[in-house]
Amino acid sequence: MKTVFNKNKNLDATKQPLFFGEDLAVQRYDTFKYPIFDRLAQQQLGFFWRPEEVSLQKDRNDYAQLSDAQKFIFTSNLKYQTMLDSVQGRGPCLAFLPFCTNPELEGAIVAWDFMETIHSRSYTYIIKNLYANPADVFDTIIEDKKIEERSKAVTEAYDKLIRLGYKWHNDPKSVDIYELKKALWLALVTVNVLEGLRFYVSFACSFAFGELKLMEGSAKILSLIARDESQHLAMSQQIIKAYLTKENDKVMNKVIKDTNKEVYKIYDDAVQQEKDWASYLFSKGSMIGLSEKLLHQYVEYIANRRMRVIGLEQKYEQSSANNPLPWTQHWFNSRSLQNAPQETEIESYVIGGIKQDVEKDQFKEFKL
């Protein structure tokens, strides 16, 4: 991006490529090259929520009663989720937005990134409510080797695109356009895998606690995050599909053909890392309703579904038609969850909240 407002009167945004075209002019949402991106942005804005709307009072008591193995599973997942959304709270706007030249996609990316920040705030809300010293959780995220290993692929893809993109921005002749678009394509696939696969072992564990009537407030928050991530997954899928079917970008077409093996490797690496994470989580003990084997099958099931949508061959043993954890489905549809104020929902309406921890002697000075 060389200017925040292009004064070219002849610019037709409906003929612009998704990325690396001319800088955009008037933000208008009446004509579209890709209406799907505007619909996804509108849906995401309609889903707006805040974590403070969900009570964690019962979760505080539940957490104290968990076994050491359950605490390990819950806390490890919370740390990993915090790391992933720390990346996603910056990634789309830093890596994709500066080079986006389609107005409806631009709006969708802004909405996407904004909601990722809500997710990060949600993890902080949970951590502050459940742990006596939140720093004990936050300060150990980067030190966790298992988490660091899983974050590497995501951050490297973003960082390479950012470095090449800004170099191209400053001097277009200094960057091979093939290498630039290759970095974009691999970043898009990596983010597609992040949004569509890398959260799902953690989601399953969070929902398993909810099924046991434990940590229900946290499970409710994670269900809202999962709903948002489905929107973000759809955005990445639609960008990929646009390049596969509509963009008619000769350089990108060659990139897609040349990187076919790399794309499958991105999936293979993510699947193996998610399986390893499941084994790590259950290394100290199990929990009712889940097992290491079931989670391994679930990873393959999710991976096959994601690959099918973007035209890749389904290569994992667990069929995309056979969900090994069918009970997780209703958690991905937050509308099906109970909205009872006395349990996990709306404790404060954010401002001027209702306190639920009032002691009986707090009103002893009050007289009618």
Least confident of 27-31, 155-159, 233-237: 27-31
Query: What does 329-361 look like in DSSP terms, one character per residue?
Result: HHHH-GGGS---TTTTB-SS-SSSPPPS---GG
Cβ atoms 146, 280 nearer than 8 A: yes
Question: What's the predicted TM-score (pTM) here?
Answer: 0.89
What span, in angstroms and rounded, lies between the C-alpha atoms of 256 and 178?
11
Q: What is the per-residue pLDDT for 299?
A: 98
Question: What whole-number distance in Å separates Cα of residue 83 and Cα of residue 119?
Answer: 11
Find where tokens 């006596």 sit.
132
Q: Quick one: average pLDDT of 117-132? A: 96
Per-residue pLDDT tens for 172-213?
Answer: 999 999 999 999 999 999 999 999 999 999 999 999 999 999
Instruction: Please give the single-letter amino acid code of residue 50.
Output: R
Query: Coil, strand or helix: which one is 365?
Result: coil
pLDDT over threshold 50, residue 252: yes
| Average pLDDT of the residues of the chain | 90
**pLDDT, tens digit, 9 for 90 and up, residues 46-81:** 999 999 999 999 999 999 999 999 999 999 999 999
Closest CA to 237 of 52, 108, 67, 84: 108
Specify the pLDDT at position 351: 40
Amino acid identity of 221?
I
Percent of the chain with pLDDT over 90: 79
Q: Where are the alpha helices (DSSP H) in 68-144?
A: 68-88, 91, 103-130, 135-138
The residues annotated as belonging to the active site are 123
What's the rounded Cα separation, in Å, for the pair 50 and 118?
7
Interhelix angle 260-281/200-211, nearest 10 degrees: 30
SS3 content of the chain, % helix, strand, coil (to 5): 65, 0, 30
What are the Cα distances from residue 363, in Å, to 57, 208, 348, 360, 366? 21, 40, 20, 7, 5
Residue 119 · residue 89 · CB < 8 Å: yes
Determine the pLDDT at residue 368.
55
Q: pLDDT category, 354, cuts 50, 70, 90?
A: very low
Q: Which CATH number applies to 38-46+54-351: 3.20.20.70, 1.10.620.20, 3.30.160.110, 1.10.287.3610?
A: 1.10.620.20
Instruction: Give the residue extent of every domain in the chain.
Output: 38-46+54-351
Q: How confident is the model at residue 362 (pLDDT cuts 50, 70, 90)?
A: low
Q: Is the pLDDT of residue 326 over 80?
A: yes
DSSP string, 175-235: S-HHHHHHHHHHHHHHHHHIIIIITHHHHHHHHHHHHTTSSHHHHHHHHHHHHHHHHHHHH
